[in-house]
Amino acid sequence: MSEILLTLRKLHHAICALSALNLSYRGQATLEEAIEHYDRALSAHTPTPSADDLLSDGVFLRHYLLFIYDICMTVDANDAGSGMWVDHLRHLVTLTRNRVARFGKEPHAFLMHSICAFDTYACLMGNGNCDYFRTVLAEQIVPPLGASLTSASQRGHAIWPNEAHTYPVIMKLMRGVMVHTSNLAQAAQQFRREAADRTTVSPGRCARWQAQVFQMQTELSNFWRQAYPDFLEKDSPMAGQALDVRMRYVFEHVSQNQNKFPPLTRIPRTNKTPPPGLPPLPSLHPLLPNLNVPQPSPPPHRQPNRLPRRH
């Protein structure tokens, strides 16, 4: 009983920490209050928890809330605590794996989808490597599509009657876009690591990066066209208005993610001027690192031959 109370007390402080952080940004609380609750949620002066306690909802939710807290906390990139969200993400990977092994599934499937999304966004911004998403995909412990929404009532189902037709299609679209976006994020991190070891990048390597991005963007676009619901208007910003509230929220969120990566129509060669509509080198694409690409020297300027005037 004491272990349960201790777990709930820490969870309480995690909730208060995130709430106080939000209020501090609104000017309704001090940042010190948020930090104090955060430290109490992480207090190390506690007895060693049992195996059952480590698999409890309280521990899982505490690390999830502190993970969100560290993402939202504005800190200097050089601050020693700026990478705490990575530690919580590692804990969440371990907890998810162990909870699925114990219970056969993760009871809070919607939180898993949320963590996957945050993990992917962080990777796109240059932090992390989509470790959580890659783990749940590789170990095939991604929750089923129908598990990501909570029940409508105690006796209800995750899918409401008026969503029976739209739900499977929208959720399939959501998961596919998440997987393709994760692949793009991991490729972007690989490009950054390769670029970090070089002061200049050869045109050949730059072209290879472009080719990879182009292929993945094409795959994402093809998936979007194939999986796009046939009951929604295509290429319309108002398409989601035809859906119920929950499905509209999911669809518009997925649509915004997909639109972040418009497909390239061509891959510009490194020794030629890019075609209209494409960014010039070295800023080839948002997914590619900032590069110092050696450019060929321009040809010497020549005066045009002029015909003699006739008098």
Summarised one tens digit per residue, pLDDT across range 80-109 is 455 788 889 999 999 999 999 998 888 888
Domain total in the chain? 1
Give 293-307 as a 3 state SS string.
Answer: CCCCCCCCCCCCCCC
Tell me if 101 is assigned to some domain. Answer: no
pLDDT given for residue 294 in this prediction: 42
Q: Spell out the long-range contacts of 177-180 with Cβ–Cβ below 8 A and sequence spacing 24 or more.
A: 177/220, 177/223, 177/224, 177/254, 177/257, 177/258, 178/113, 178/116, 178/117, 178/120, 178/133, 178/257, 179/137, 180/216, 180/219, 180/220, 180/223
pLDDT confidence of residue 305: 44
Q: Write down the mean pLDDT value for the chain.
A: 75
Element (H, E) at 54: helix 51-54
Residue 23 lies inside a defined structural domain of this protein: no
**Domain annotation covers residue 254:** yes
pLDDT single digits (tens) 174-211: 888 888 888 888 888 888 888 888 778 788 888 888 89
Q: How far is CA 198 from CA 1, 17, 129, 201, 208, in A?
A: 57, 42, 21, 7, 16
Residue 295's CB is within 10 A of a number of other CB atoms, namely 12
Residue 200, exposed/middle/buried by CB under 10 A (0-12, 13-18, 19+)? exposed
Sign of CA dihedral 116, 120, 139, 142: positive
Report pTM. 0.69
Distances, alpha carbon 22 to alpha carbons 28, 31, 64, 70, in Å = 9, 9, 16, 12
| pLDDT tens readout for residues 53-68 | 778 898 999 999 999 9
In terms of residue numbers, what domain contains 185?
167-293
One-letter identity of residue 37: H
In a domain, residue 135? The reply is no
Classify residue 279: in a domain, yes or no.
yes
- Give 43: exposed, middle or buried? Use CB within 10 Å, 0-12, 13-18, 19+: exposed
Can you give the pLDDT at residue 198? 79
Q: What is the pLDDT of residue 277?
A: 39
Report if residue 249 sits inside a domain: yes
Average confidence (pLDDT) per 10 residues, the chain, 311 residues: 77 94 92 93 69 84 92 64 79 92 86 87 82 88 61 45 76 86 87 82 85 89 90 82 82 74 44 37 39 42 44 42
pLDDT of 78 reads 53
Residue at 306 is within a domain? no
pLDDT of residue 114: 86
Please give the DSSP secondary-structure letter assigned to residue 78.
T
In a domain, 173, yes or no: yes
pLDDT at 304: 43
